[in-house]
A = this chain, B = another copy of it.
Amino acid sequence: MSEGILNGIRVIEGSAFVAAPTAGMTLAQLGADVVRFDAPGGGLDYRRWPLSSAGDSLFWSGLQKGKRSIEVDLRSEQGRETLTRLITAPGEGSGIFLTNFPARGWMSYESLSERREDLVMVVMTGNHDGSSEVDYTVNPAVGFPEAMGPRDCAAPTNSLLPAWDSIMGGLAVVGLLAALRHRDATGEGQLVQIALSDVAIATVGHLGRIAEAQLEGREQPHDGNYLYGAFGGDFETSDKRRVMVVGLTGRQWKALEGATGTEELFARVQDATGHDFRDEAGRYAGRELIRELLKPWFAARTLAEIRAAFEGTGVSWGPYQTFKQLVAEDPRCSTDNPMLSVVEHPVGTYLTPASPLTFSVSGRLPAQPSPALGQHTGEVLAEVEAGTAGDGS
């Protein structure tokens, strides 16, 4: 139970920033032995914010959980040879390389697969032509910032969450496991490629927005916190907190009417105005009216009272919380949640997530500490020397 479902797999990670480290961490949290290499002193993301008051990167720490960290000088012939040997070491679960570095020269699939023919290599780039791009420059291009944020604000709203990086991290692991499955069955390795802007554009397509733009020529204006195509809106409470309330399905809407005692109010307003609140399109068309009619109920109650009133009713809602409120108030973000435990890291001791995935047979590894930079350099290099780097032990 305690080894993790991917125990026996060894992945070498050469990366920086969010997407590729997320992929490696996802694998490490499932039990893979993930060895991340960095230049001596750390790579481009080693000082990325948020920082602790001691100046350590809590970001770097968060994304390296469960990995082994080695420092290797890539500018030296010897460093490159060491990494080549590590990446192409023999062993059934080894010969797997994950990177968002420019995969050229010694680091190219061509060079590395000469040393281990069945190498599985996952290369993450900015654009499909290999050019670079970051989440904060991809996101503006794909429409969402121009379609969200306050109505009265002329400027678009970029996202603070690097969502495309996080999505790509998961998909890179999907690609890696699919290629490994192919190798297990056939003995063949391969190069897997994925680009950040492709991930974003594909998602825009999956959600119907490319079709909508192309077939209907519709734009989506900023619409505050209203939902698109159904009722959803935010409300201020009497204690100056804010909640999000959604009436997407008929059942959610009935629950909301019931819990706020507004069935008759909405029936009479429906009669008076011709709005049809019984279906989601009607609730979307009447979203401002609905919000106005519900505001007094929320304004008269504290967050705690609203929570009590909605408990067990089937209303779809949630409080707005800052990062601090999430950590201070939400039982889902505490050790009451089996995903989280307090872990001692080199940069501090704090509440740390394990994988959100649980497996009934293979279990879930507890949350793991992040390494100090280079903590495993000696140990891993000794494994390379001894020729045991790939035995999965």
Q: In this assembly, does A308 line the interface, its C-beta being within 8 Å of a C-beta of chain B?
A: no
Q: In this assembly, does A229 line the interface, its C-beta being within 8 Å of a C-beta of chain B?
A: yes
What is the 8 Å Cβ interface bit string for chain A, positions 163-176, against chain B (1 contact, 0 not)?
10011111101110
What is the 8 Å Cβ interface bit string for chain A, positions 371-388, against chain B (1 contact, 0 not)?
000000000000000000
The complex places the Cα of A134 from the Cα of B193 at a distance, in Å, of: 31
Q: In this assembly, does A39 line the interface, its C-beta being within 8 Å of a C-beta of chain B?
A: no
The complex places the Cα of A267 from the Cα of B133 at a distance, in Å, of: 27
The complex places the Cα of A58 from the Cα of B204 at a distance, in Å, of: 11
Contact between chains at B201 and A332 (CB < 8 Å): yes
Q: Which of A134, A224, A229, A249 has the most CB of B within 10 A?
A: A134
Contact between chains at A323 and B157 (CB < 8 Å): no
Contact between chains at B157 and A150 (CB < 8 Å): yes
CB-CB nearest in chain B for A171:
B170
Q: In this assembly, does A5 line the interface, its C-beta being within 8 Å of a C-beta of chain B?
A: yes
The complex places the Cα of A322 from the Cα of B159 at a distance, in Å, of: 15
Contacts known (A167-B163, A180-B181, A193-B357); A212 close to B147, Cβ less than 8 A: no
What is the 8 Å Cβ interface bit string for chain A, positions 22-36, against chain B (1 contact, 0 not)?
100110001000000
Q: How many copies of this chain does one complex carry?
A: 2
**Residues of A within 8 A of B (CB-CB), count:** 154
Inside 8 A of A170's CB, which chain B residues have their CB? 167, 169-171, 173-174
The complex places the Cα of A144 from the Cα of B318 at a distance, in Å, of: 14
Q: In this assembly, does A42 line the interface, its C-beta being within 8 Å of a C-beta of chain B?
A: no
The complex places the Cα of A82 from the Cα of B89 at a distance, in Å, of: 49
Q: Which of A134, A145, A202 has the most CB of B within 10 A?
A: A202
Inside 8 A of A177's CB, which chain B residues have their CB? 174, 177-178, 181
Contact between chains at B327 and A213 (CB < 8 Å): yes
Q: In this assembly, does A298 line the interface, its C-beta being within 8 Å of a C-beta of chain B?
A: no
Residues facing B in A180-231 (CB within 8 A) are 180-182, 184, 188-195, 197-199, 201-220, 224-225, 227-230
Pairs across A and B, CB under 8 Å, 27 listed: A18-B207, A26-B171, A30-B178, A48-B230, A49-B230, A50-B208, A50-B218, A53-B216, A62-B207, A140-B243, A140-B321, A143-B324, A144-B161, A146-B321, A147-B323, A155-B234, A156-B234, A157-B225, A158-B225, A160-B220, A174-B357, A182-B359, A190-B361, A197-B332, A209-B323, A219-B322, A220-B323
